[in-house]
Amino acid sequence: MTFAELLARLGGMGRFQVTYVAALALPLLMLASHNLLQNFTAGVPEHRCRPQPGANGTASHPPPDGRCRRYVQPQWHLLEANGTNGTEAPTEPCRDGWTYQDGIFAHTIVTEWDLVCESKTWRQAAQSIYMAGILLGSGIFGILSDKFGRRALLIWCYLQLGVTGTCTALAPSFAVYCLCRCLAGLAMSGITLNSASLCMEWIPTELRAIVGTINGYCYTLGQFVLAGAAFGLPRWRWLQLAVSLPFYIFFLYSWLFVESARWQVISGRPDLALKGLRKVARVNGRKEEGDKLDAEALRSLVGREQSPARATRSLSALAQTPGMRTISCGVAFIWFSTSFAYYGLAMDLQHFGVDVYLTQVVFGAVDIPAKLASVLAITGVGRRAAQAGALGLAGLCILANIFVPQELQILRMVFAVIGKGSLAASFNCAYIFSGELFPTVIRQTGMGLGGTMARVGSMVAPLVRMMGDAFPVLPLIIYGAAPIVSAIATCFLPETRNAPLPETVEDVERRAGHLKDEELQVTVPLAPTKAEPGKDGV
């Protein structure tokens, strides 16, 4: 009997699993609120140099070369009816600060800490610092969860995000703001990783794809939550606090979570695993089945299931054979470019010139049909075609906006929405395609590579936006070229639709044509060639 069969005996997708998935999915609604928060808390209003002391508004009229300089001397001649702008008069930087126009972005970190003109790059740097925290957290909390358990780390991350989010709202300086955002990114990564692990380890294998899709749509709905919260709370500190306080509630009820029985047995705690499984059985109305379990049988069961996982999982295994090198490079390209272009679009809503709240809603809404279309595409035309098509379409839409005049805002918005939806579809394809490309013995390692490259892409995306100061269309060129290059790279990957999952590296090489059936030796003997039934690793 496999662990999946044991879960089926204890109720399968019973009352416990349904409640568990709902409790884990609710915090995912708030993930988008934090990831995309700076679209609203770091909005840039119209601004101009603060007038010199003693000069009236007309005499201190800004020069025509922008919002970042002022005249050295008051231009009194502008008071005359026929006065000119005095374009030849000497100018200087804004030495006395700026004045900001009232509007939807009247109270942001930009207005509070004057992140404009020479300091405007710090706005994008703050988002990159947050994404760097997510990247760092994926490594730290991944290791810690294997040592201390999924439940304990998840509880801690809920509390950490609540506290650091609150501290961000109370930050007295921009440096403290960036530090707190980085720590919030750490916690965000821990929530994502441990929620997925707990969810997948308690859900029957055949329902994991459905549950994964539900979790993905929770993130999509979270974009609507962010738009509504931002509209109702235009002051950045109140908005930051509003999206952080719910994590105290999640922290409180997370103490009721049941730890992964698989992890407890592997960690030498079969008695605790047995207690948790019996609780699951009671909730699902299978108390008699739970009472039949014993710790020794449970240890033996999971021990057999984990035998393939005892093979080496080093990163070097991803590049030691030709087939694995092709797959690893292709997956790295896919994840990096998808996340890179996604956050390049999603974090610059103000650039489109349309109402920013409406833009956020539309950007969130397009994910719903896009993810559904991706499921139909990967089923109908195959994984490789769907993945390459989504990336290629996204890249073309982004590049198309280079040639659309700024005054055609609706057309620019249409291209951006199609591109963003295509990238959402690409994410959906990547989860399935990547899992089917890597062999079972190193599937988690391969998926970890993809996740890491996605976080690198999200961290680099805001920095590329800074290049627009020197060459305005350069960011669009880079954001559009990356998915197109990845679409081409995808064409070199094998199709996995209706194909059996590879269990070993030998299976990958045989599928790629590098190893004939009679050749049973490869340089990386990771696991037995025959896997136990029911263990597809996804």
Q: Tens digit of pLDDT for each residue in 68-123?
A: 777 666 655 555 545 555 456 777 777 777 888 877 787 889 888 988 888 888 88
Q: What is the pTM of this model?
A: 0.78
Q: Residue 393 carries which side chain, given as an amino acid letter?
A: L
* Alpha-carbon span 337 to 401, nearest angstrom: 18
Angle at 74 between CA 68 and CA 79, to 5 degrees: 110
Residue 261 near residue 297, CB atoms below 8 Å: no
* Alpha-carbon span 75 to 79, nearest angstrom: 8
Angle at 164 between CA 214 and CA 124, to 5 degrees: 80
The mean pLDDT value for 358-379 works out to 86
Q: What is the DSSP string of 162-195?
A: HHHHHHHHT-SSHHHHHHHHHHHHHHHHHHHHHH
Q: Residue 509: what pLDDT? A: 81
Share of the chain above pLDDT 70, in %: 82
Return mean pLDDT, the chain. Answer: 80
Q: Residue 531: what pLDDT? A: 39
* Alpha-carbon span 181 to 137, nearest angstrom: 12
Q: Residue 518: what pLDDT? A: 46
Q: Is the pLDDT of residue 536 over 80?
A: no
Q: Which two tokens stand for residue 118?
A: 């020479």
Q: Residue 336: what pLDDT? A: 94
* Alpha-carbon span 161 to 251, nearest angstrom: 10
Q: What is the DSSP string of 61-128?
A: PPPTT-SSEEESS--GGGGSTT----TTS-EEE-TT-EEE--STTSSSHHHHHT-SGGGTHHHHHHHH
Among all chains, which residue has been given the structure tokens 């404009």? 116
Q: Residue 300: what pLDDT? A: 67
**pLDDT tens digits along 434-480:** 878 888 667 767 777 888 888 899 888 888 887 876 787 888 899 99
Q: 44: closest CA among 62, 67, 61?
A: 67
Q: Which two tokens stand for residue 431?
A: 């989860």
Domain boundaries, the chain: 1-55+96-257, 266-305, 315-515
* Alpha-carbon span 197 to 191, nearest angstrom: 10
Spatial CB neighbours of 18, under 8 Å, sequence gap ≥ 6: none
Q: Residue 423: what pLDDT? A: 93
* Alpha-carbon span 356 to 361, nearest angstrom: 9
The mean pLDDT value for 213-238 works out to 87
Q: Is the pLDDT of residue 394 over 90?
A: yes
Tell me how far CA of residue 535 lies from CA of 302, 332, 403, 443, in angstroms.
Answer: 12, 25, 50, 12
Q: Residue 66: what pLDDT? A: 52
Q: Do domains 1-55+96-257 and 315-515 have the same CATH topology?
A: yes
Band (pLDDT 50/70/90 cuts) for residue 173 is very high
Q: Residue 236: what pLDDT? A: 92
Say which range, 48-52, 166-170, 437-441, 533-537, has the weakest mean pLDDT: 533-537
**pLDDT tens digits along 293-351:** 776 666 666 555 554 444 445 567 777 788 888 988 999 999 999 999 998 888 777 67
- The superfamily (CATH) of domain 315-515 is MFS general substrate transporter like domains (1.20.1250.20)
Q: Residue 308: what pLDDT? A: 46
Taking each helix axis from N to C terminus, what angle separates 409-437 and 367-380, rounded to the nearest 10 degrees? 40
The mean pLDDT value for 159-176 works out to 95
**pLDDT tens digits along 10-41:** 777 888 888 888 898 889 888 888 888 888 89
Pick the CATH number of 1-55+96-257 from 3.10.20.30, 3.10.50.40, 1.20.1250.20, 3.40.50.2020: 1.20.1250.20
Q: What is the DSSP string of 464-511?
A: HHGGGGTSTTHHHHHHHHHHHHHHHHHTTSPP-TTPPPP-SHHHHHHH
**H or E element in which residue 275 lies:** helix 270-283
Q: Does 109 or 197 have the greater pLDDT score?
A: 109
Q: What is the DSSP string of 140-159?
A: HHHHHHHHH-HHHHHHHHHH
Residues in the chain: 538
Q: Does 88 or 418 have the greater pLDDT score?
A: 418
